[in-house]
A and B are shown apart, each in its own frame.
Chain A
Amino acid sequence: MTLDFSTLLPYTDVILEGLVTTLWLTVVTTAAGIALAILVAYVRDGSPTGTRAVISRLLGGYVEIVRNTPFIVQLFFLYFGLPALGVPISATAAALLAMILNLGAYTAEILRAGIDSTLKGQHEAARALGLSRRQSFRHVVLVPAFSRVYPSLISQCIIVMLGSAVVSQISVFDLTYAANFIQSRNFRGFEVYLVVTLIYLLLAVGLRLAFEFVGRRLFAFRQGGSS
């Protein structure tokens, strides 16, 4: 078998369109997913009472449901299930929602591990010094927790980016959809998937580098001082 990449040339636009979709899906998911996770961690932090305890339980349920079911099932549930319940949702919206909910749940759990490893006394000292719960959560709990779990966080975001390949199943025009499309037209599966694999690899490496760059800025305090 000989490789013939020239058969891909007419489909450059298709690959580009897929690449753009995968990219923006990943960027939006990463931002929204981490924000969601922080929110979940904030509500669940400490020992909640009253209404917060109820919401905290519900959020715990959400985290467990997402972490214990396959992503493709969550995706199908949103895409085919919501319209049946009378909530129209486009394929792209369903894909984005599924990815955000997925990353949110996993990141919330990663963050919880970081928060749990923060000494309780540190939290109490902050409150004793007069910081509000929000202030103490942000400066004393969240940032150190983030810096501790940052490597796991990067991996999780990359997993979600690679997992986004699944959204091609509900006709979202992502990179994998582009590859399947081309493969169904020119029957050059090996060439197409080779190119797309390379693109995914570059995306993953790029995402990791970007995260590490941001991390060096965010957690500059850790570099000079003791860890």
Chain B
Amino acid sequence: MFAFAKNRFSRQLVLALCCTVAAGLAALSAQASDLETIEQRGTLRVAVPQDFPPFGSVGTDLQPQGYDIDMAHYLADQMDVDLKLVTVTSANRIPFLQTDKVDLVISSLGRNPERAAVIDFTDAYAPFFLGVFGTPEAEAIDDASGLSGKTIGVTRGSVEDMELSDLAPSDTTIQRFEDNATTISAFLSGQVSYIATGNVVAAQIAERNAERAPTMVFQIKNSPCYIGLAQDNGALKDRVNALIEQAKQDGTLESMSQKWFHTALPDDLSS
């Protein structure tokens, strides 16, 4: 009896192993869809975030919405194909691309050497940066020495805290708060006139508090987002790059920035 059970168990184990290996081989051999395939299929499959506003979140109508989703719609419209949105998480963005489940990853993807080794990137399409933000009346600051004498709120231990502490002149008062919520409260209540944070957080403040919408006065660190696609997919990359350039020229990106970030695009992205 026991031997039989054991035997059956072994057989199942072998079967499971075979399936895994087969799936792995299939994944390895998954050929990325090139531009021609996409046009023949008539559908562009795009991985978008659903948990990272304003890049991508789920609206009250349960439909994905955000900057990345608008970008996907724009590309599909221009390529004259249907759009299939696939919601992904931060961790499985790249595997979805590698296994040809999607053609493009438009998911607030930053560019780094580790990622560049396995996938390819188009030109930058979305702003992602850390900066010092002031009230809408605040004047722009050209370089770090312009921060002198200012009081800036920041969340303790965050990347922006580290970068700002290095950059700022010694007579800048940096007030560090425990978490993002307290830093935001300090800015909204007028306790600090400036905060150092990311443009995503600034957009969220602007969303809820238009009259004190944070306006960037100084950029601390810039790491814009890129669209990810499979390697050696030159035709698709060229097509997407051309469309990004067109979006920069005709103001599509600018209006998306105004819509989702409530602020103009930074210089490196505007035409």
**A contact residues around B153 at 8 Å (CB):** 171
21 interchain pairs, CB-CB under 8 A: A79-B189, A80-B185, A80-B191, A81-B189, A83-B189, A84-B189, A88-B190, A91-B175, A168-B178, A169-B178, A169-B182, A170-B177, A171-B153, A171-B186, A180-B156, A180-B176, A180-B178, A181-B156, A181-B176, A184-B156, A185-B157
Interface residues of A (CB under 8 A from B): 79-81, 83-84, 88, 91, 168-171, 177, 180-181, 183-185
Report how far A134 CA is from B161 CA in the complex, Å.
55
**CB closest residue in chain B, given A184:** B157
Given A180-B156, A184-B161, verify A171-B175 contact (CB < 8 Å).
yes
**CB closest residue in chain B, given A79:** B191
Report how far A169 CA is from B179 CA in the complex, Å.
9
Report how far A177 CA is from B182 CA in the complex, Å.
15
Interface residues of B (CB under 8 A from A): 153, 156-157, 161, 175-178, 182, 185-186, 189-191
**A contact residues around B185 at 8 Å (CB):** 80
In the complex, the answer to whether B176 meets A171 with C-beta atoms within 8 Å is: yes
**CB closest residue in chain A, given B179:** A169
- 5 nearest CB pairs, A to B: A184-B157, A171-B175, A80-B189, A83-B190, A83-B189
**CB closest residue in chain A, given B175:** A171
**CB closest residue in chain A, given B191:** A83
Given A91-B191, A170-B177, A184-B161, verify A80-B186 contact (CB < 8 Å).
yes
Chain B binding site: helix, strand, loop or mixed by DSSP?
A: mixed
Report how far A73 CA is from B156 CA in the complex, Å.
20
In the complex, the answer to whether A169 meets B177 with C-beta atoms within 8 Å is: yes
The smallest beta-carbon distance between B187 and chain A, in angstroms, is: 11
The smallest beta-carbon distance between A40 and chain B, in angstroms, is: 29
Report how far A170 CA is from B185 CA in the complex, Å.
10
**CB closest residue in chain A, given B173:** A171
**A contact residues around B176 at 8 Å (CB):** 171, 177, 180-181
Report how far A81 CA is from B186 CA in the complex, Å.
10
Report how far A171 CA is from B195 CA in the complex, Å.
13
**A contact residues around B186 at 8 Å (CB):** 80, 170-171
**B contact residues around A185 at 8 Å (CB):** 157
The smallest beta-carbon distance between B164 and chain A, in angstroms, is: 13
Task: List 7 additional contacts besides A80-B189, A81-B189, A170-B177; criterion CB under 8 Å.
Answer: A79-B191, A83-B191, A88-B190, A170-B182, A171-B153, A180-B156, A180-B176
**B contact residues around A170 at 8 Å (CB):** 177, 182, 186
**B contact residues around A79 at 8 Å (CB):** 189, 191
**A contact residues around B157 at 8 Å (CB):** 180, 183-185
**B contact residues around A169 at 8 Å (CB):** 177-178, 182
**CB closest residue in chain A, given B165:** A185
**A contact residues around B175 at 8 Å (CB):** 91, 171
Report how far A185 CA is from B165 CA in the complex, Å.
11
**CB closest residue in chain B, given A88:** B190
Report how far A183 CA is from B156 CA in the complex, Å.
10
The smallest beta-carbon distance between A94 and chain B, in angstroms, is: 9
**A contact residues around B182 at 8 Å (CB):** 169-170
**A contact residues around B191 at 8 Å (CB):** 79-80, 83, 91
Listed residue (A88, A171, A180, A184) with the most chain B CB atoms within 10 angstroms of its CB? A171
**B contact residues around A91 at 8 Å (CB):** 175, 191
The smallest beta-carbon distance between B176 and chain A, in angstroms, is: 6
The smallest beta-carbon distance between A193 and chain B, in angstroms, is: 15
**CB closest residue in chain B, given A180:** B156
The smallest beta-carbon distance between A145 and chain B, in angstroms, is: 40
**B contact residues around A88 at 8 Å (CB):** 190
The smallest beta-carbon distance between B158 and chain A, in angstroms, is: 9
**B contact residues around A80 at 8 Å (CB):** 185-186, 189, 191
**CB closest residue in chain B, given A94:** B191
Report how far A183 CA is from B178 CA in the complex, Å.
12
The smallest beta-carbon distance between A91 and chain B, in angstroms, is: 7
In the complex, the answer to whether A171 meets B177 with C-beta atoms within 8 Å is: yes
Report how far A194 CA is from B245 CA in the complex, Å.
56
**CB closest residue in chain A, given B155:** A184
The smallest beta-carbon distance between A15 and chain B, in angstroms, is: 16
Report how far A185 CA is from B163 CA in the complex, Å.
12
The smallest beta-carbon distance between A51 and chain B, in angstroms, is: 35
Report how far A130 CA is from B186 CA in the complex, Å.
56
Report how far A180 CA is from B177 CA in the complex, Å.
10
Report how far A124 CA is from B63 CA in the complex, Å.
79
Report how far A180 CA is from B155 CA in the complex, Å.
12
**CB closest residue in chain A, given B177:** A171
The smallest beta-carbon distance between A66 and chain B, in angstroms, is: 22
